[in-house]
C-alpha cells in the first residue's frame, strides 16, 4: 500500500559532491517531485551561495540537509538502499533500470526509511559504496556519452519515484516473501557483515591481506535476500556460538 507521503521517506544521499551548484540543483529537483530528505556525505563546499542560487526556492531542503562524515552515518536506520551508477559492476547488487528501480525502492519504504545513493561527479561511486546497497539503478543513456549531470540524474530518479508513487499503479515488484519480522536496518546488517568477517578471519578461512572477492560475494548474497532483523539475530547468534568455541 503506497501512502501519499511515501516520498517523504526517501533519502537522497549525495556522496562527496564536488560542486555546490549540483547540491542546489539536486534540492530543487527533489522538491519539484515532492521529496525532502537530502543527505550529504563529505560535500566539498556546503553550505554555499551557489547551492542556494541553484536551489531556486528549495532552500528549505538545503537548510534541513544532513551533513555526514561517512556513508554509515548517511544510511543509518535505512532499510533499503539503491546505488545510482552508470558503470557495470561485476560483483555489485542486481542492476535495474531507473523505471524499475523506483517501485522497488518504494516497496520497501513501508518498513522504514529508504535511500537513493549518488556518487561524486567525476569518480562516481566506489565499489565499496555500491556494495552497501541492495540494488543498482541505471539511467538509460547514449552509449558514447552516458554521464548525466548529477542534478539531472537526481531529477530523473525523483521523477520516476513520483510517477511510481502517484500513478495509481502499485509497485510492480513486491518482496517475494512477506516479511515476518521487521527488515533489518542497514547498520544492523553492516554489524553482521563485520561480525562475519571477524569470524572468518579467526577461523583462518579469510586472510584480509588476500581478500580476493570474498566479502563482496557474501554481501551480494545477503543483499539479494534482504535480511530481516530476526535473521540477523540468528546469524549473529551462530557467529557468537562459534566464537565461544574457538581456542583462545
Restricted to residues 66-125, the positions that interact with a copy of itself (CB under 8 A) are 88, 90-91, 94-97, 99
Under 8 Å between Cβ of 155 and 139: no
Q: With CB under 8 A, what is the number of residues at the site for a copy of itself?
A: 77
CB of 115 to a copy of itself, least distance (A): 20
Query: Smallest Cα–Cα separation from 112: which of 216, 192, 189?
Result: 189
Nearest distance from C-beta of residue 218 to a copy of itself, angstroms: 7
| Smallest gap from residue 215 Cβ to a copy of itself (A) | 10
By CB under 8 A, residue 16 contacts a copy of itself: no
Using CA atoms, how far apart are residues 45 and 75, in angstroms rounded to an integer? 21
Q: Which string of b and e fits 200-224 if b means at least 16 CB within 10 Å?
A: beeeeebeeeeeeeebbebbbebbe
Task: For the CB of residue 73, give the shortest distance to a copy of itself in the complex, in Å.
Answer: 27
If the CB atoms of residues 194 and 204 are measured against a copy of itself, the closer one turns out to be 204
Among 155, 183, 186, 188, binds a copy of itself (CB under 8 A): 155
123: Cβ–Cβ under 8 A, 6 or more apart, which residues? 16
For the CB of residue 39, give the shortest distance to a copy of itself in the complex, in Å. 20
- 8 Å CB contact between 126 and 71: no
Which C-beta is closer to a copy of itself: that of 182 or that of 237?
237
Residue placing its CB nearer to a copy of itself in the complex, 46 or 166: 166
Q: Count Cβ atoms within 10 A of the Cβ of residue 65 and give its class: 0-12 exposed, 13-18 middle, 19 or more buried.
A: buried
- When binding is defined by CB under 8 A, the residue of 139, 183, 184, 186 that contacts a copy of itself is 139
Q: What string marks each residue from 31 to 50 as x (binds a copy of itself by CB under 8 A) or -?
A: xxxx----------------
To 10 degrees, what angle do helices 186-202 and 214-225 make? 140
Euclidean distance between CA atoms 114 and 146, whole angstroms:
26
* Residues of this chain, 177-206, that bind a copy of itself according to CB under 8 A: 177-178, 180, 199-200, 202-205
Amino acid at each position: 500500500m503506497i501512502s501519499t507521503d511515501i516520498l517523504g521517506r526517501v533519502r537522497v544521499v549525495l556522496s562527496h559532491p564536488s560542486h555546490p551548484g549540483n547540491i542546489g540543483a539536486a534540492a530543487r529537483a527533489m522538491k519539484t517531485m515532492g521529496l525532502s530528505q537530502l543527505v550529504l556525505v563529505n560535500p566539498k563546499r556546503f553550505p554555499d551561495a551557489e547551492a542556494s542560487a541553484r536551489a531556486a526556492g528549495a532552500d528549505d531542503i538545503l537548510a534541513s540537509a544532513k551533513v555526514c562524515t561517512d556513508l554509515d552515518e548517511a544510511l543509518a536506520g535505512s532499510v533499503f538502499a539503491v546505488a545510482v551508477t552508470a558503470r557495470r559492476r561485476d560483483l555489485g547488487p542486481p542492476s535495474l533500470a531507473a523505471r524499475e528501480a523506483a517501485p522497488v525502492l518504494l516497496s520497501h519504504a513501508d518498513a522504514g526509511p529508504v535511500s537513493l545513493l549518488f556518487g561524486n561527479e567525476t569518480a562516481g561511486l566506489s565499489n565499496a559504496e555500491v556494495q552497501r546497497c541492495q540494488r543498482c539503478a541505471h539511467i538509460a543513456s547514449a552509449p558514447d556519452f552516458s554521464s548525466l549531470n548529477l542534478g539531472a540524474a537526481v531529477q530523473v530518479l525523483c521523477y520516476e519515484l513520483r510517477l511510481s508513487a502517484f500513478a495509481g499503479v502499485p509497485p510492480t515488484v513486491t518482496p517475494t516473501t512477506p516479511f515476518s519480522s521487521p527488515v533489518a536496518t542497514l547498520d544492523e546488517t553492516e554489524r553482521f557483515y563485520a561480525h562475519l568477517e571477524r569470524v572468518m578471519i579467526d577461523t583462518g578461512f579469510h586472510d584480509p591481506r588476500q581478500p580476493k572477492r570474498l566479502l563482496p560475494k557474501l554481501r551480494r548474497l545477503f543483499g539479494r535476500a534482504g535480511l530481516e532483523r530476526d535473521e540477523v539475530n540468528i546469524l549473529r547468534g551462530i557467529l557468537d556460538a562459534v566464537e565461544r568455541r574457538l581456542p583462545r
